[in-house]
């Protein structure tokens, strides 16, 4: 197991895309940690004190200090525990590209998927989500090596693969419950399929069936 003055605690909520990616980074790197699930309807003292600005999960607490925002947390994990499963590329240009696309994933892909859920399956929002997937398909063709493997990192998961892995359960969940019609993006869907089968993802991500029940209760019943 990786070690760096452990004392690592994750404040989490299991259905959260953002919690899943932090959990995956911890598992990938073999970092022992305590998982403290949070009731977001009745926020705990530790959550409010650790994240007083946004009051949301995930929060990583390392040696008593909170780190906030999932992409920043995954970056932090990679910097503090660089020896095992390095995530960000060594090349400065490629690191910049990973940061650009991480911002796109959170501001475009996630936003359009959530708006599709809240719109109860609006076709125009479905198309917007698909356009975002197609842009990621292009990024994968540019930055990844299909000969080496299905991920942005080739055969192994990189920073972007960790950020995208939760969609391996969320996209089929939304498709099966809310009727999302995903675009034909062969490489993007190959990445998600490989992420779903990754041993660390099997630990860090929930089963699609469990997530489907959450989606039914949270969105389909409204």
**Residue 102 included in any domain:** yes
CATH of the domain at 32: 3.40.30.10
Looking at residue 220, its pLDDT comes to 84
* Residue segments in the chain with a per-residue pLDDT below the cut of 70: 1-6, 222
Domain boundary among 80, 105, 128: 80
Looking at residue 222, its pLDDT comes to 61
Domain that holds residue 130: 92-220
**Domains in the chain: how many in total?**
2
In a shared domain, residues 20 and 115: no
Going 130 to 132 to 133 to 134, the CA torsion angle's sign is positive
Tell me if 165 sits within 8 A of 20, measured CB to CB.
yes
- β-bridge mates for residue 34, sequence order: 9
Domain boundary among 60, 80, 100: 80
In a shared domain, residues 61 and 144: no
Looking at residue 2, its pLDDT comes to 46
CATH of the domain at 176: 1.20.1050.10
**Residue 86 included in any domain:** no
In a shared domain, residues 74 and 137: no
Listing from the earlier edge strand, what are the strands of the sheet with 8-12?
A: 34-37, 8-12, 59-62, 65-68
């Amino acid at each position: 197991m990786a070690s760096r003055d452990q004392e690592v605690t994750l404040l989490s909520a299991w259905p959260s895309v953002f919690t899943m990616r932090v959990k995956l980074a911890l598992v990938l790197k073999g970092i022992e940690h305590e998982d403290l699930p949070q009731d977001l309807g009745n926020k705990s003292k530790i959550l409010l004190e650790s994240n007083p600005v946004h009051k949301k999960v995930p929060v990583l607490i390392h040696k008593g200090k909170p780190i906030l925002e999932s992409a920043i947390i995954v970056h932090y994990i990679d910097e503090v525990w660089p020896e095992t499963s390095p995530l960000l590329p060594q090349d400065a240009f490629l690191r910049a590209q990973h940061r650009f696309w991480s911002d796109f994933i959170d501001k475009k892909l996630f936003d359009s998927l959530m708006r599709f859920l809240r719109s109860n399956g609006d076709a125009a929002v479905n198309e917007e989500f698909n356009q975002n997937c197609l842009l990621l398909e292009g990024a994968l063709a540019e930055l990844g090596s299909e000969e080496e493997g299905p991920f942005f990192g080739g055969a192994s998961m990189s920073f972007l693969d960790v950020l995208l892995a939760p969609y391996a359960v969320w996209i089929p969940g939304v498709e099966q419950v809310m009727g999302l019609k995903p675009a034909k993006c062969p490489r993007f869907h190959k990445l998600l399929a490989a992420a779903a089968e990754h041993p660390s993802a099997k630990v860090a991500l929930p089963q699609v069936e469990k997530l489907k029940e959450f989606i039914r209760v949270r969105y389909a019943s409204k």
